[in-house]
Structure 1
């Protein structure tokens, strides 16, 4: 059993380190004043209730033990086979929580990140460069376990090879939104593809430039949807304000199974204190990152990298969320 414990322990550590990219990337863009702000923000946050956990050492040798908040034991899932999707998610939450405690201990010194674990197979969809996405459980969309697969894409900018491959490989319907262009790209021309020249935002309005903005809640109501299987967001730095509005509008259960979002971490987009508060609010909704990939386009033009593609899994949603169901 010792080698098994060591293997699981190593996987738990790697799951915590794989998302270092975005938070580490963000810190690399900060000046000394902003870095010093981190300690002040940390001390002002109310973590007193968790102080005992934060100060206790992390014992990775027991990572294979289902006790000690590492997820429910298999006995808690009567008449289920070992390693069901639900059990994998429970275990992943336990590992994730451990790394959160480690992050809180080390954040001031190392700006530590973390990651969740997708309980299904992972596939790259779309191009290898900017525009492609990593999806959790792609086979579930191909095999039609849900009567109607719904995908929303915010920020298309004519780059629709990801959307095109999704249309080719699945029966999903796609709703694309971007007020900066007049149509989807050529790959996404289909009877199952719907485009509207709207920006997604905090409120429904028409701005001074005549551009239409709508909230996610309004768009879902107009389309007759109560759930989104895949939500893709690439809105050039507006994601923080927009997602604060989404979290305000939908409460404890956000209406999507997985989220593909490019996070822009340049200081002109968001300060680190704001980013950390926003990140932990998203975690509190049961939405966890399981993959990250730095966007290297700025590097190719001689700039410092300041954007990262993130993949998130929603662990809530009940029967609407196919990613937390068990298919055997």
Structure 2
């Protein structure tokens, strides 16, 4: 009898121990899950905070560099606002080439590319045509060569592109326009004459004409990506970047032009096109408002 009583006591003790251990492990597992969730929430919160800090510091740095007035230092402080996972260099490796975000993703059945500032150098145009499947309409424009323009300074000289350029442009489904932007040729005029209503990629290198020629266009027309060389002082660069930011363009690449100390190339994408090109947002680095 005593033996049976002892066995029962031992059994009950083991049962209680098993239940206790089971409850502990279950509770501990829940605590671990809650702890993991809290850590994830903390990471997300910290990420948002980091993005906010990134934006504030970047904007502060830019404004400080504008006051200093040193172009090279300003360029180093222009931070990307989005991340393009498939950034591609199109055109020449030196001056003339541009960084484009995932160009092969463009809708090849209905795409338009504008290339402003040819100077009979169309490596970018030929390359972008190849990468996008050769089906996009390419609208190119320039005055005569920039060297000749410098010689005559204030005169507006208009001349046709060379026969070789004309032939090559026709082969890539291109249309050529002649004029000084925006004085004798505007971007809306080019688009309307070509029968198009929107632009997928806009490359612009028009030796200062960007400051007055671009905003009226992006104000009224849909543009997905802009590849622009801005000319002038840091304040002129920031003012131009602010104009584009006002219409929801975000920077994904900055590339100083080492042949021109007051020139820098920027690549931007419109917020409306970010999802299509697989772009990830960071933080806004261009301060709003006038200088």
- Asked if TM exceeds 0.5, the reply is yes
The alpha carbon displacement at 1:274 in A equals 4.5
Cα deviation digits, residues 34-56 of structure 1 (max 9, x gap)? xxxxxxxxxxxxxxxxxxxxxxx
Residue 15 (structure 1) aligns with: none
TM-score (normalised: structure 1): 0.56
Question: Does the alignment pair 1:323 with 2:277?
Answer: yes
Q: Which residue of 1 aligns with 2:93?
A: 128
Q: CA RMSD in A?
A: 3.1
Which position in structure 2 is the counterpart of 1:261? 228
Three-state SS of the structure 2 residue aligned to 1:175 is: strand
Would you tell me which structure has more helix in proportion to its own residues? Answer: 2
Answering whether residue 41 of structure 2 is matched by residue 102 of structure 1, we say no
Residues 121, 295 of structure 1: alpha-carbon distance in 2 compared, 3 angstrom cutoff? same
How far residue 66 of structure 1 moved from its aligned partner, in angstroms, is 6.3
Instruction: Summarize deviations over 1:232-259 as a string: whole Å, max 9, x none.
Output: 1010011111123335x42xxx521101
Q: Cα offset for 1:152?
A: 0.7
**Gaps (5+ residues) in structure 1?**
1-61, 71-93, 206-212, 299-304
Is 1:224 paired with 2:195? Answer: yes
Indicate which of 112, 115, 120 corresponds to 1:150.
112
2:44 alignment partner, SS class:
coil
Residue 126 to residue 281, structure 1, CA distance change in 2 (3 Å): closer
Gaps of 5+ in 2: 1-40, 66-73, 145-158, 280-291
Cα 1:172–1:107 change in 2 (3 A) is: closer
**2:267 matched to 1:311?**
yes
> 1:114 is matched with which residue?
79
Cα distance in 2 between the residues matched to 1:98 and 1:219: 42
Alignment partner of 2:207 out of 218, 236, 240? 236
C-alpha separation in 2, matches of 1:324 and 1:316 = 12
2:8 alignment partner in structure 1: none
Name the residue aligned to 2:10.
none
Normalising by structure 2, what TM-score? 0.62
Determine the C-alpha separation between the residues in 2 that align with 1:118 and 1:227.
Answer: 24
Shift of 1:187: 4.7
* Contact 2:231–2:237 (Cα < 8 Å) also in 1: no
Change (3 A) 1:191 1:274: closer
Residue 163 to residue 64, structure 1, CA distance change in 2 (3 Å): farther
Higher relative contact order (CA 8 A, sep 6+): 2
Q: Which runs of 4+ in 1 moved over 6 A?
A: none
Residues 33-52 of structure 1 correspond to what in structure 2 (within 5 A)? none
